[in-house]
Structure 1
Amino acid sequence: MATATLTISSKNYSSWSLRGWLLCRMAGIAFEEMPIPFDDPDARAELLLLSPSFLVPCLEHDGARVWDTLAIAEYLAELFPAAGLLPADRIPRALCRSVSGEMHSGFANLRSALPMNLRARYPGFKIWAGAKPDIDRVTAIWRECLARSGGPFLFGAPTMADAMYAPVCTRFTTYDVALDEVCTGYVRTVLDWPVLGEWIKAAQAEPEELEELDVEF
């Protein structure tokens, strides 16, 4: 029986909804999905990166209402420490929080140049030069974390950091971003993650009620 609700937006387009959903599944909390209608102005603002403060996803649990993805991660890590959303050791835990926070607050050029679209594939896509430093920084983070942990996830087993970077893995696949062997292996690990596969399957079955998202950045 569900003990919580998670308000989400489009499964095909919403990277933040994916992150919140992954975190809830990783924590093992029983929750009911509450999709926002595609024509809801708040949902469209979130998907087009036009809102300064996203209220989706939003987790409601036992009287608490948590709407920021990083706040959801910390809330669930506090309630369900055995789920391993944060590494057990202090130094990896600090790094996990840091790289999760960096994803949460940064990489604006990457987000705008490579919007999430799970149903699409663009072989040979020409990436805007302004997004290249963001891509380089993401892959540097991945290489550092994987070298420290030994993989296959950023900190060995799945953590909040993998939930934060999972949408980036899908973006790199959608837009055919060239990666080195280490990063290609990490993307493959994330895309083969059964819980992500469940989301992708649902995204592919999502009704075509939402117009293709086009916006000038």
Structure 2
Amino acid sequence: MKLYIGNKNYSSWSFRPWIGLRHAGIPFEEVQLWFDHDHGHPEIRAMSPSGKVPVLADGDLVLPESLAILDHVARKLPETGLWPADPLWRSRAMAMACEMATGFSALRAACPMNMRRTPAPIKTGAEVAGDVARIKTLWGKALADSGGPFLCGSFSIADAMFAPVVNRFVVYAFETDAVTRAYMDRMKALPAWQEWEQAGFAEDAVVAEEEV
């Protein structure tokens, strides 16, 4: 399999399948296509059905969209545990992943992922505050019900989908409770997280927020 991704400093959607596959120990070839062109990367538009990254190439299948990529790999390799084995937790993991994929637009717009950003708060409105409150509630409920250490007990696609939010909470210095902070610390301690973060820090490209 080949996983086409964007800049590790900025590309939140690339981060999601990358950390899922890497943490699960799934071998794949990484192909990085930089966000450094005035009107998008021509190679992305040439090979991606959506004109965006990430994209997974698996044989004849060319699959865009982070959640679709993670779901495809999880069903192809169920032994990796990317979806929880328990049917009820699998459904809850899917619900959390879908909420992340389709929701929290205010937070995503106001606070783009930026691994290199020096942590500091910015002025945000009620909609961002509502997104942050909902995420903290969602995490807290899942961790309480599963017993942790991750949202569904073991690391799953739900955690992979929320990985960029952990970065946002850190670099935009949102107030967090003890449960939220402990979960974030566990995510940041993952070797896959640290590998991606170090690569993001090593990049020197600067991209306008609206391009990512």
- TM-score normalized by structure 1? 0.87
Distance 1:188 1:24 in 2: 20
Question: Deviation at 1:158?
Answer: 0.6
Distance 1:183 1:26 in 2: 21
Q: Which residue matches 2:205?
A: 209
Q: Which residue matches 1:151?
A: 148
**Aligned to 2:160, what secondary structure does the other structure show?**
helix
Distance 2:159 2:114 in 1: 19
Alignment identity in percent? Answer: 39
Q: Which residue matches 1:185?
A: 182
CA contact (8 A) 1:22 1:195 kept: yes
Deviations 1:144-175 (CA, angstroms, capped at 9, x unpaired): 11011111111111100000001100110001
Question: Deviation at 1:126?
Answer: 2.9
1:20 maps to 2:17 = yes
| Aligned 1:67-106 pairs, distance under 5 A | 67-106=64-103
Distance 2:111 2:51 in 1: 19
Distance 2:146 2:4 in 1: 33
Q: Which residue matches 1:140?
A: 137
Question: Deviation at 1:74?
Answer: 1.0
Question: Deviation at 1:35?
Answer: 1.2
Aligned-partner residue type, residue 72 of structure 2: Y
RMSD after superposition? 1.9
Q: Which residue matches 2:47?
A: none
Aligned-partner residue type, residue 200 of structure 1: E
CA contact (8 A) 1:13 1:115 kept: yes
Distance 1:183 1:24 in 2: 24
Aligned-partner residue type, residue 77 of structure 2: F
Aligned-partner residue type, residue 152 of structure 1: P
Distance 2:95 2:182 in 1: 22
Aligned-partner residue type, residue 145 of structure 1: A
Deviations 1:111-164 (CA, angstroms, capped at 9, x unpaired): 011111111123343333320111111111101110111111111111000000
> Unaligned stretches of 5+ in structure 2?
45-49
CA contact (8 A) 1:5 1:32 kept: yes
Aligned-partner residue type, residue 140 of structure 1: T
Once the two structures are overlaid, the 10-residue window that deviates more, 177-186 or 19-28, is 19-28
Higher relative contact order (CA 8 A, sep 6+): 2
- TM-score normalized by structure 2? 0.89
Question: Deviation at 1:63?
Answer: 1.9
